[in-house]
Structure 1
């Protein structure tokens, strides 16, 4: 687990650089900020479900984080929403799934969108196993979050208001099952 944490943290730093560069910002925009300081790891185990048509695995949602790095075995079940339709995301051996979260959508001023996803109940004999690592600021971070200043101007106004991470966490905890992006709570 310690080795995984070390490697996934290095990957997150590199990924953060590539994503900010993709916005036209410096690749070191996130370095030295608290935006990727917190890591949470969740292991998911979906045994075979004898009646998968009568239940769900994990309901549709977005992650409130900056982004999530997901490692999964070769048993399917993960679906992503694209243009209002659910698409199976077939596992690829050795691949990681990167999911943009609500917070990065806000920081990017809607240039990146948080990815709605779900996992359906496992109809196969083998269990589905995944490990998700979520990257976000510390819960106690008192800095204000909102769109990066470089991405806003009079011609391109901020689409989200400023807020503290604690407010994002409060909205996340109060979110009802099945509700989608938290970004809408902070939209102006």
Structure 2
């Protein structure tokens, strides 16, 4: 009789590992494309992303309509959908539900941007075969990339981006791309 309580006392720590924990992790929705989030040159474009959940994603909806989860892991569920904008701006409500019923919502504002970025050279100097160029790229939304003579510069994307580059030759070909994919080009030289 005295052995039963002793056996239970010894088994208690082992049985404690059998308890189930509740899933309180809400799915996380991430947009990967287009690069500028929800900005494009076109009224119809593909939005791509994924939903991350530790127990697996059960369903993804856009504006209340279920969209297919692309093949692969349910813990990282890839998705894509096509926009159909009738105006310059709009929004899509993306919802994700995991297997435990936890839900997350992301409201994605989308916009059509047909305005190219602007680029201005603030300083240009040539020393022999070396060309130094300093400038500013601006955009109504976001400058995503600046290249000089085909070499992409390390910038922090934003509405206003200052840049500096050294190259060789007589001039510098500058290309600026905004978040929607609009391009501005400038040949700097004297």
TM-score (norm 2): 0.28
Q: Report the structure, 1 or 2, having the larger strand content.
A: 2
> Which structure's relative contact order is higher, taking Cα pairs within 8 Å and 6+ residues apart?
1
Structure showing greater radius of gyration is 2
TM-score (norm 1): 0.28
